[in-house]
Amino acid sequence: MSQQSHNSNTSSNAIALWLYGCAFMVLAMAIIGAITRLTESGLSMVEWRPLLGALPPLNEAEWNRVYEMYKQSPEFEHKHFWMSLHDFKQIFFWEWFHRLWGRLIGLAFLLPLLYFWLSKRIPQGWKLKLIGLFFLGGAQGLMGWIMVKSGLVDRPSVSHFRLAAHLSLAALIFGALILSARAISKPQSDDYHFDKLGLAALGCVFITLIWGAFVAGLDAGLVYNHFPKMTPDHWLPPEADIDPLNNHGWVQFTHRVLALISFFVVGAYTHMRKAHAVGAALLIQIGLGIATLLSAVMIPIAALHQAGAFILIATLILSLYRSKKR
């Protein structure tokens, strides 16, 4: 192996390691975001300060200022009117930490990107793709604030559609980071293509994740906590209003059906391609989903369930890249 080829491989491996690290931070962000939502902390910060907001309140006067702002919000007026300043500090922490972690992801991506760019170590054809990933991360931060704003006007909760957009964009960024890292570390020739069954499996998981966000945004996981039936006597939600986008029972039922479809499609891919890691991730995720339901959305289990969706996406993408054939 020539010295130039060795240096190229070293650079590619370093860039791949950096991207995998960023993907891990996004996975951690999914867990932090789940805890933020489940503890009803997401609307505790009613202002968006991209720079100054990185610091928490540092004195009692600042704490009182942000607390008074929160007291003007619909969530405090309708749900958290009982909260003292001490209680408010606890929910404020998770939203602040959620936003801080987002800023850290941005720095963890931007600073190494500048280093690799200036040292001319980025492989040919990857500069624009990596810049695109950076701006996609910026769009995610903006989408997060758009989501929060929906709960600051006249309702004590965020729009479940905006929550789904926020989570879906996070999953898209996560998948793109995994795919980019894999492609840079193990480049393949143009004669290869993705496995169509694997792409179908990935699509099923992604759509199921969207409905999972609908369930979370509507707190629909708190109703019908039986399995496999919706109630001890009903396979279907008893509500007459069949609305899989807005009705709590039917949103949860739709998520269950999509999870079942994903189970069979991903299971078929696992069996036919001998993708054992995908199969393991699938079984764990299904188990976490059922446990989340039966526990009436216990926070640790629900947070792991959200993380499980990202891990399943990662294993699928890595398996897809390995199994590319003519």
The pLDDT score that the predictor gives to residue 11 is: 82
Separation between Cα atoms, residue 219 and residue 324, nearest integer Å: 40
For 47, the 3-state DSSP assignment is coil
Cβ atoms < 10 Å from Cβ of 135: 9
Arithmetic mean of pLDDT, 36-60? 86
Confidence of residue 322 (pLDDT cuts 50, 70, 90): low
195 vs 295, residue with greater confidence: 295
Q: Is pLDDT above 80 for 191?
A: no
CA distance 62 to 68: 10
Which two three-digit tokens encode residue 184? 């840079």
Burial degree of 168 (CB within 10 A; 0-12, 13-18, 19+): middle
What pTM did the predictor assign? 0.92
Q: What is the mean pLDDT of residues 228-250?
A: 93
pLDDT at 271: 94
Residue type, 6: H
Q: What is the pLDDT of residues 267-310, one digit of tens each?
A: 999 999 999 999 999 999 999 999 999 999 999 999 999 999 99
Contacts of 290 (CB under 8 A, 6+ apart): 227
Confidence of residue 7 (pLDDT cuts 50, 70, 90): low
Report pLDDT for 128.
Answer: 95
Please state, rounded to an integer, the average pLDDT across all residues of the chain.
Answer: 90
Phi/psi of residue 312, nearest 5 degrees = -65, -40
Give the integer Cα–Cα distance in Å for 147 and 140.
Answer: 10
Q: What is the mean pLDDT of residues 171-193?
A: 80
For residue 52, is pLDDT > 80?
Answer: no
Q: How far apart are CA 43 and CA 252, in angstroms?
A: 24
Q: Are 166 and 135 in contact (CB under 8 A)?
A: no
Mean pLDDT of 153-171: 91
Lowest mean pLDDT among 114-118, 129-133, 189-193: 189-193
How many angstroms separate the CA atoms of 9 and 280, rounded?
31
pLDDT digits (tens, 9 = 90+) for 69-92: 999 999 999 889 999 999 999 999
User: For residue 79, which of 133, 155, 141 has the smallest C-alpha distance?
Assistant: 155
